[in-house]
Amino acid sequence: MKKIATGNKAVAEAVKQANPTVVAAYPITPQTEIVEQIAEFVTSGQMPARYIAVESEHSAMAACIGASITGIRTFTATSSHGLLYMHEMTNWAAGARLPIVMANVNRSLGPGWNIWAEHTDALQERDTGWLQVYVSTVQEAYDATLMAFRIAEHNDVLLPVMVNLDGFLLSHIMQPVDTVELGDFIPKIHLPHAIDPKHPAGYGTLTGPDQQFKFRWEIERSMRDSVKVIEETEKEFAKRFGRKYGFTENYRCEDADVIVIAMGTLGKEAEVAVDLLRNEGIKAGSMRIRWLRPFPKLDLKGKEVVVIDRDYSFGFGGILAGEIRSKTGISLYSVIAGLGGQEVTYDDIADFVRTRRTGEEFWFGVNAHV
């Protein structure tokens, strides 16, 4: 069914169709619309879920953990400082191998107090064991949320999944969305280690040095196994519903001399910049990173690369640029742009390519090369 929706409303619609048994939530701008819409679905009887209105984001994740360990489907949503408040529990969710799905509406961290888009919030969670996908359109927010449940709950994965969408730039923008008849696309959940009163067991007990590293390895093994599950899920989604996705979204990269790499809405904006540059005779392409964890394999041989980070690791550099360098060994031009919702247009992105200096870092708006 075709309709017009915000990114937040699209996520809520997908959650309704996935039909979780428990949703635990605490409001925070610019995510609040997601859990408000879900609350309306529950109140009106459209969604037969238990909605738990908790007193904090830490409690929201703790409630999802407690529910998920019983073997039921769960969902929550947050943003920015709410995600940071969850941090103890996000580690626990992954370590306990619980397939919780969470939408995170990317927002800058304070101080200064800012409610606009930035990826630093989610990127501070990249080492917890959560799978992370970054979307760029309302349609993709809907589709990725549906697929997240199937991926997380697959018995070769059993790790939580975070669906990231840019605050206001996507969460509150109105775009067309085509909803689907889900059918059996998301199978019934089966958690092998769910609590069973008939077979008592200990959970969260002390683990000694002779065993703890094995638990860490199991998370990594499942993260590696998730690559195949993601590919199979996206392939099945395309077969059933006609929309195709991958670990990256590549635009005019085949014959490109220079490739712009970004995530979220900046990755989509870069496509317009590429067309502009092509008209000027510059053979540019764009690559939008969708899955940050597991990190995609990138073929960038023989290409100049411009990476745009809507984030920063102080004393180190742009996080996405650092990830790409560590995985590929290439020298690139690192651009820091869009922090705290700073406006970055396709003209700006085109100019990053025109004035690129490989091996350097540039802060947009500060006029500083490093």
pLDDT in tens, 270-304: 999 999 999 999 999 999 999 999 999 999 999 99
Q: Are 135 and 292 in contact (CB under 8 A)?
A: no
- Length of the chain, in residues: 370
- Domain assignments of the chain as residue spans, ordered by start: 2-241, 249-369
Spatial CB neighbours of 238, under 8 Å, sequence gap ≥ 6? 244, 245
* pLDDT of amino acid 367: 73
Strands (E), 117-257: 131-134, 161-166, 174-178, 248-251
* pLDDT of amino acid 202: 81
CB atoms within 10 A of CB 101: 30
| Cα separation values, 183 from 47, 241, 292, 299, Å | 16, 11, 29, 36
Spatial CB neighbours of 146, under 8 Å, sequence gap ≥ 6? 14, 17, 18, 180, 182, 185, 186, 237
pLDDT, tens only, 144-191: 999 999 999 999 999 999 999 999 999 999 999 999 999 999 999 999
CATH fold match for the domains 2-241 and 249-369: yes
Task: Report which secondary-structure segment, H or E, holds 276.
Answer: helix 264-279
CA separation for the pair 100, 66 (Å, rounded): 11
CA separation for the pair 108, 265 (Å, rounded): 15
Cα–chain center distance at 344: 21
* pLDDT of amino acid 127: 97
Query: Which architecture, in CATH terms, is 249-369?
Result: 3-Layer(aba) Sandwich (3.40)
Query: Which architecture, in CATH terms, is 2-241?
Result: 3-Layer(aba) Sandwich (3.40)
Q: Are 293 and 128 in contact (CB under 8 A)?
A: no
* pLDDT of amino acid 203: 77
| Cα separation values, 246 from 66, 96, 164, 292, Å | 32, 28, 16, 12
CA separation for the pair 143, 134 (Å, rounded): 12
* pLDDT of amino acid 201: 83
Q: Are 175 and 8 in contact (CB under 8 A)?
A: no
Residues of the chain with pLDDT under 50: none
* pLDDT of amino acid 229: 98
CB atoms within 10 A of CB 139: 18
CB atoms within 10 A of CB 112: 7
* pLDDT of amino acid 48: 97
CA separation for the pair 31, 8 (Å, rounded): 7
Q: What is the pTM of this model?
A: 0.97
Given CA atoms 228, 96, 23, 121 in this order, what sign does their dihedral have?
negative
* pLDDT of amino acid 13: 98
